[in-house]
Amino acid sequence: MIHDEDILKRPIPIDEDQAARVRLRIRRRLPGRRLDKYLHGRMPHLSRTALQRLIRQGAVTVNGKTVKPSYEMAGGDIVEVLVPAPEPHEVIPEDIPLDILYEDDDIIAINKSAGIICHPAHHEQTGTLVNALVHYANNLSHGADPFRPGIVHRLDKNTTGVMLVAKRDEAHWRLALQFERRTLQKTYLAVVEGHLELDADLIDAPIGVHPVVREKFAALIGENKIDVGKSATTYYEVAERYRGYTLVQLRPKTGRTHQLRVHMSHLRHPIVCDTMYGGKLVSEYTLTGSGDREPLLWHQALHAWRIEFQHPITERPLEIEAPFPARFKRLVQLLRQSRALPSGNQANHAT
């Protein structure tokens, strides 16, 4: 059996003719920030384990000297890294249509459609967003995984809306830093079941793997309300109220898998058509008492509507919105027409 300690002791083969030499100057002391973690943030295409191996074998120096992965950097330090050439890999390009919302030399913003996953799990897998991106773009950032070029963050398979993609490595790590520091803001819109008691609130419920169904996640709070999952918080605000349903804005403060779906289910207001987390399918007949009985959606009524962030290179503020899918718009239109409340908050969200 090969242990992690054995892997860390093995040097990474480096062809110096093919390797890149990276020189970084630390502007100020970073208290508690280990060298290996810092480099992982700057070079997300290299795993932290690989960086630890490079540091231990002397391929990383600070002020011309070898150090340990746990070295805490000081202002003025010069870090030099001999970066091995990436292992050859290939993602199969596919001519899959993309809805481009914004593009420049550094980033792409797309309006992701339902039913497509973000990246392949192995070389042979096709039909993913990455396959489409590789066909569309001449350059994409390396990312942390050879099968995820350009991918800075993800959306669930059936969640629609705005998603950022990095073309260059510098844009990638700078965007990743904004996600890590939570300085960008994502706003989703969702139709949920029932009438939320409060117009706005912060949901603070840790999330972990479901104790029974391993494909699901759950809000995990143990006896005496002790958190047993990973910290997760979501701010919600009611946008429009209808009989039996509510349109809500959701702003996640953390980025746990299925977070918004789990949190709304935890409040006993699951997202419409999210059958995995307790939501029921709805049709025109369900909402109006007549018309088509075919479900309006076969997936959660959740749309990543807007993202506000700082451009990773120019540093200018950007706000990008994604138009709503036709079926999501139809759902909201039917609710407004047949289930509007006379005194409800009927803010217009361009749906």
CATH code for position 222: 3.30.2350.10
Q: In this structure, is residue 9 part of a structural domain?
A: yes
Q: What is the pLDDT of residue 178?
A: 94
Residue after which a domain boundary falls, among 155, 181, 207: 181
Evaluate whether residue 346 is within a structural domain. no
Angle between helices 48-56 and 35-42 (to 10 degrees): 120
- Check whether residue 237 and residue 104 sit in a common domain: no
| Rounded Cα–Cα distance for residues 154 and 247 (Å) | 23
Q: Is residue 151 part of a domain?
A: yes
Residue by residue, pLDDT tens for the chain (351 residues) are: 334 454 455 677 777 777 788 889 888 877 778 899 889 888 877 878 888 989 988 889 999 999 999 998 888 899 999 888 766 567 889 999 999 999 999 999 999 999 998 887 766 678 899 999 999 998 999 876 777 889 999 899 999 999 999 999 999 999 999 998 899 999 999 999 999 999 999 999 999 888 888 778 988 876 555 566 788 999 999 999 999 999 999 999 998 999 999 999 999 999 999 999 999 999 999 999 998 999 999 999 999 999 999 999 999 999 999 999 999 999 999 999 999 998 645 555 556
**Residues 197 and 306 both lie in one domain:** yes
Regarding whether 201 and 119 lie in a shared domain, the answer is: no
pLDDT in tens, 262-317: 999 999 999 999 999 999 999 999 999 998 999 999 999 999 999 999 999 999 99
What are the residue numbers of the active site? 156
CA distance 156 to 259: 10
Please tell me whether residues 71 and 119 are part of one structural domain: no
Domain boundaries, position 34: 4-83
94 falls within a domain: no
Q: 49 and 30, same structural domain?
A: yes
Q: For residue 66, tell me if it sits in a domain.
A: yes
Model pLDDT, residue 78: 92
- Same domain? 164 vs 254: no
Domain boundary among 83, 114, 134: 83
120 in a domain, yes or no? Answer: yes
Cα–Cα dist 339/23, whole Å: 62
Taking Cα atoms as reference points, which of 276, 259, 278 lies closest to residue 204?
A: 259
Regarding whether 244 and 330 lie in a shared domain, the answer is yes
On whether both 198 and 57 belong to a single domain, the answer is: no
Strand 302-310 with 160-166, pairing: parallel
In a domain, 60, yes or no: yes
- How many other C-beta atoms are found inside a 10 Å radius of the C-beta of residue 86? 12
Q: Which of 147, 165, 181 is the last residue of a domain?
A: 181
Check whether residue 189 and residue 328 sit in a common domain.
yes
Same domain, 205 and 322: yes
From residue 53, how far is each of 9, 16, 39, 157 by CA, in Å?
Answer: 7, 16, 12, 35
How crowded is the C-beta side of 133, counted as CA atoms within 13 Å?
31
**CA-angle at 311, arms to 307 and 317, nearest 5°:** 65
Domain shared by 169 and 204, yes or no: no
Q: CATH code at 46? A: 3.10.290.10
pLDDT at 222: 61
pTM of the predicted protein model: 0.74
Together in a domain, 206 and 275: yes
Q: How many domains does the chain have?
A: 3
- Per DSSP bridges, beta strands 207-209 and 217-219 are antiparallel
Q: Is residue 31 part of a domain?
A: yes
pLDDT given for residue 16 in this prediction: 72
**Alpha carbon 320 to its chain's center:** 16
